[in-house]
Structure 1
Amino acid sequence: MDDLSFLKNNINDSKDGYLPKYMVLKWQNIVNLLAKLVSVPVALIKKLDPPYIEIICSSESQMNPYKSGDRAKLAGQYCEEVMKQNSKLLISNAIKEKDWEKNPDIKLKLISYLGYPLLYPDGSIFGTISVLDVKKNDYSTNFENLILQFKELIESHLLQLEFDNKFGESEQNYRNIVEQSLMGIVIIQDDIIKYTNQKMADMLEYSKDEVLNWEPNEFYKAVCPESLEYAKDQIPKRQLGLSNTKEHNIIKMRKKSGDTYWADSFSKSIKYQGRPASLSLQIDITERKNIEEEVNLHKQRLESLLTLSQLQNVSEKEVIRFALEESVKLTKSEVGYLHFFNDNQKSIDLFIWSNNVMKECYSEDNSHYSLDKAGIWADCIRLRKPVIHNDYQNNLNKKGYPEGHFSVKRHMSVPIFEAGKIIAIIGVGNKNLPYNETDTHQLILYMDNMWRILNQKRSEKKYQVLFYGAPDGILITDQNLKIIDSNPALDDLIGYKKKEIIGKTIFELPIYEQDTLDFIKKLYNENSIEDHPDFIEYEIINKNGKKIWIEIQISEIKKGEKVIYQSIIRNISVRKEIEEKLKKSEENYRKAYEQINFYKDLFSHDISNFIQVINNASSLFPYVKQESNTMNETINRIQKNSRNAIRLIENVRKLSNIEDNIGITFTEIDILNYLNEAIQQIKENFFQNKLNIEIITSLKSIKIHANEFLLDLFENLLNNAVKYNDNKIIEITIKISDQQKNNQRFFLMEFIDNGIGIADNKKELIFQKGNRTIKGGKGMGIGLSLVKTLVELFGGKIWIKNRIKKDYSKGSNFLILLPKIS
């Protein structure tokens, strides 16, 4: 009957709070390794002690804010939910989940979490094992499996403690615990296995009886060669009861079938039936080791790709050679090759071999190999997928390989694709162990990234040629608009060398006037680069002080997670000058066109009015006696209107000169003289109407600087007041007063009539040239547009009010300010 009394010396009270120092140290190693493998700043083992939670072990990471021994009250932490639900909790980004907004971990920027409950053997909660990250993290299945492995290991430790604690109660209870343990347990004494539990036998794929019947030292056959030296050194020492033995180690074991597994082994010297013996507890960590291996390979691959991407001033062949050597290392191979495939000719262009191939596999005269003649080493082309040959020499379909080729024992080849076509193949060979899917996966990932980097380097080389040879200036800035590069064309454009502007922001360049700088800052502050106009134009000043118009096109370029901005800058000064000339030409054309239409309209209406008056007067001849007063008045009216028509034509010519600023002179003029002449002319023209025109002024001298156009100004205003008046008696009052504005003296003239008036929304429009829709389509001489032009020509101002406030229909008041002679 097995004696388990040897365990009595190792009893500890774990559930009441005490944890052995050696176990805490093991747990500390676990969290340190866990944080490293998962690449997170925090890994924790916590113990529940209501109402507190205590950190038993905290990973020794630089960015970890928690320390082992920290103790706090339960306050909404992630671990509370894990213990409450007794299940896994994964939070990728707590910031986006309202349930966690009060979580104290968020204040420490720990926004992602993966945790599992740790249980005592009776199923009650011990605490949690968890990892936390400062960035969004979805945690892969591999990482979850890794944490589960550590969870099982820790719970096996708790089981061991409970086993120790309860040993004194019943030896049968402890035998049941040992037999049901998740750990393999074995006791060796006198080089013979004295005890093993069922778990240990199952792990080795033997029955318990087979293990217990092994001959002395036969148990060493279950240890792999790489761990055999350690086992033969430590097991004898523990059987002798020596204290200088290693309690913990990772060893590789061999099963009955020949397969292997990795074991996490905890061993010590104990007393068994009164004498020293070796006790070992093992847990299968093969899955964890595989994950670690994959993580390490991933790390090596990334480090290699980083080095590859940073290779400078090397040829394309040297880049490929570096990648090939790294592929040989990653797959633990001895040799390798990379050859290009010509899909059109169905031939393989033998390109490069790894350095440790003593002799090249081709001669310079025979660098091409037909796919038809190639052996199974080219099957990856035929099958369009990776191919593994772990027993190459005994493969009946191997055919052959190029003359002088190295001897192949194991072989793996992978096709390299671009745009769906095979462009090259990479092969590795002679690995000590058989190639597997992990090797294939690593090689595919590495070569895909290598080819992407190679194409990127090709693109960068082409870009450099375009960048430095471009006729337009090119400016490269980072996300903060700080200049990181520029081309020679930009140096020539702005006059500043690259070294003078590198490191400055675009706002710090000394090439802007203040208005331009304000425009650029506003443009960048109010819009993202994506929202900018396709082209931006503004004026700069180069180093020599010359003003230059430039056109800028900005585009965003992504390099991994980084974003840079490329600005293409073109000198458009010549184009702007041409555009300005074209604009002036178009403006002159428009003005000339408007003048032509205006004068055409003027003659078609106003000259016809004069002719109509003459015609009406002449039609009276048959009905009047010769030599009578009526005859004389009719002849005078004809003569007057003929003169008016002639004067209108002359005024048109003069107005044209005004607009072209040709031959305009001024002299001292008395307003009243021209005003009285204009009143007399209106009375003669409208002799059939009853006119009551009155001048009201207390001024004796009313002199301004003007010319003969003043008469036309008055005639047009009076003509307007008469023509647009439906009253039987047309009343026109002209008030003249003296006013001062801004330290200058003016004459204020008010032409007040009782006509039909002008609506408020049309008061500004009546001064527009050619506008006849305000009061109808009647002729208006040169019209109110001329009145406004003449007033402004004389340095004055004109505007309109209603004769009666708020009732435009009772007549208008035209107000004119004319500067007084000092």
Structure 2
Amino acid sequence: MDEEISIMLPDHYHTLINSINEMFYVIDRDYNVILINKIMNDNLKKLNLDVEPIGKKIFDIFPFYTDQHRNEYESVFSTGKELETSEFTVINNIKYHTKIKKIPVFLKGEVKQIITIVNNISNQKEKEQKLLDFVVKTEKQNKELKILNKIIALGNESNNLQNFLENSFDIILEQIGFEKGSIYLHDTKSNQIKLVFHKNLPPDFIKAMKDLDLSSEPWNSIFKKEDPVIIEDFSTFNLKELETDIKTTLILPLQARGEFIGNFYFWSSHLDTYNQEQVDFLINIGKQISLIIKKFQVEGKLKEIEKKWNALITNSPDFILIVDRNYIMKFINRTFPPDLPEDFIGKSVLSFAAIDTRKTIKESIDIVFNYGTPYSLEMIRELPAYGQRWFQIKILPIKSEGQVIETILICTDVTENKIYQDKIKESEEKYRTILEQSILGIFILQDNKVKFTSRGMAKICEFSMEELNTWTVKNLTDYLHPDDKENVVQRMVRFQQLDPNITPQNTYRIFTKSGKIRWLNSFTNMIHYEGKPAMMVLALDATDQMEAKLKISESEEKYRTILEQSIVGIFIIQDNAVKFTSQGMSKINEFSIEELNSWTIKDFNDTLYPDDRERVLKRIAEFQQLDPNITPLNTFRIFTKSRKIKWINSYTNIIHYQEKPAMMVLAFDATEQMEAKLKILESEEKYKEAYNRVNFYKDLFTHDINNILQNILSSSELLLLYCKKFDFSENIKEKINVIINQIDRGAKLVENVHKLSNIEESEINLEPIELIQELKKAMINIQEGYAEKDIEYHLDSFEEAIDVTADKFLIDIFENILINAAKYNDNAIVVIEIKISRFYQDNDKFIKIEIIDNGRGIEDIKKQLIFKRTEQTEIIGSGMGLGLSLVKAIIQKYGGTIWIEDRIKGDYKKGSNFILLIPEVDKDS
């Protein structure tokens, strides 16, 4: 009869049964399946179970059914009551959570069939478990965070390192449940590990630990470990004579920035085990304590540095002042007696300056405050009992967060130097007379003009001195031989740039006024002429060298007078003895001319720097052997009479002196030049190191911040799902959505900062980019990102496809501007009109893009600030400044520009017009 009922069910009942969304089947009193719906049947196929269940026993179809299932069915058959159960089953290595309802079917008052409804709740169970895990993890993290914050607070509040160590040690003991412990710190000066604190340890234990050789095993290995060490056998420490109840030892290493600081030791009389989470927590505690210990150590060093710095300033021979923006003196290290420093503090620096110099001093301080660059000036001050004094004042900026907050004035008394300079100027006229009569051709060039010419130069090039003194550098280069012009001009530029690698000697050809070609041997040097930098060129006519040698021989005494007064150091060595020495050489090596003229070659060699001696002696030998391949120029070091080390640039040549071959050495003091070169090289290395470190921390910061934002985002989204499922209030959901939106903004800010940094530091690879396609992509992205807003685009372009010179960041430019147009717009319909046209500027072809919106607009005062990355952009609007500074940086890399106008001229509230000029690809080139 039961089978008849099943078979006789009308077709529309079968259709109705198969439309039910839950799995179910019907069994008879013999546990045979008499009815099953389509969903149940499809799931059997997925599980590779019996796909033709009708007529088969339920226990054959589901082999994992147990006696418990049979008893449940028997209970329903016998009692006639519904039964609902929840089950966990693993089928084909897949976990299933199901809720099963067994419903009796009565025929003539007896239960003849059971309808079984199966509801798969695996996803619900999985979500519930994840939420539970999240809550447990959050509670644990909050607890650990409180402990870390407590330790950080101790580090900030403690007066000294010992106090901090004792208090933080108690916190950890309480957290891990240990009874006793000790702290060992690494003394970097002695490179030893020392016990600095202990708690609840008996005297014999402390003594035994102090007597340990910590460089031996297992201690040496333990101290070198970076992770916590747990030892459950105290015999490991080889302290057999020590009676103790210790069973577990926990060792927490202290390291900061890769530097070993010390260890925390915790001792317990019971056995403990630690999982990885507990170990990770201890590692975090160790890192935080290590940083605080390092902080105490660094603060101690800073105090020492500050003490030394104060002593240095106090004892400085210069007058050092600190002056604020209102010209008030905050500090002064010393004064002229009988005045005292405290008489000046809190008063205006201008009130102590002479009346006629106050304006100059005020303007100079203003320059440093306004531009943030050092400034120098000189002034005269009449002081009672000291007379007229000259001061050189250097004004240096003191900055905080990029802004000048105060200035340092370093006042140096240069009165003696001024007197000396006046004497030099007085003797200059004497030397001018000598130089004008010299057969040496002398040019002094300053501000691209000839400032002085000797008669010797007029004679060489056949122009009068009057003509030469009206020349510019262009006139001079016009008379250079074409084959030598480029070389001479380049050398002049390098001299003006103070290139330390340029040699002073050169040989080249010129045209005289009559068109003759003459060879010149020249020596070029940068000098100070009339208080300003100038280039001095000494030139000799080398056209007829033999004739020149004869003339030099005939007028030896004349040249001796000139050479003895020259700043160039000159040696003439003949027969291994010094035959002639100039005053310049005496000044360089600090020996008198009488001493130098008594030297042999050995005395000369003894002054050579050891590292350079072999090379110089070898070159001397090669010159004496008339080696044609040896170059006359050389650079080496010498010891002066006072044992100072000086660098020498030399020019060596074999000459005839008193009718015999001799070696002449022209020497120039290059000490300042070489030291500056070495400092530049050292500075370059430091710059490269600092640059790499900044990039490392920048990438590390970007990576870590993104990870933190992602973790917060995942937790917020999970919490939002939980709120929706359990019907939390809309206020809570709204707050969570605010969090998610702020995370998105934070991620975008990090991305923009990273992009901007990379754009500023790297070369952009420009290529032809199709502008319209990139613009439309950006329009679609903004339309989707601001789906809650009604945005209308109106695109008007002179061509359908336009290639511009740009790169992959072009779409970022458009998205940034379109986001501002949509975001800062209060209208019901956001209207964005885009006009594209061709624009010519200085014969260059650009594409002009105008993006016009009907938003809030931008005030005139903010139109320039909006593209700057400073604190001023805070007044513009949240998030806008950095994005547009990125836009401007990218466009400038393209060779283009960007600016903002009002949509309706004179009324900024009607909207903005962002105008971009981007170079167009020249299809004809």
Same fold (TM over 0.5): no
TM-score where L is the length of structure 1: 0.30
Which of 1 and 2 has greater Rg?
Answer: 1
Q: Give TM-score scaled by structure 2 length.
A: 0.27
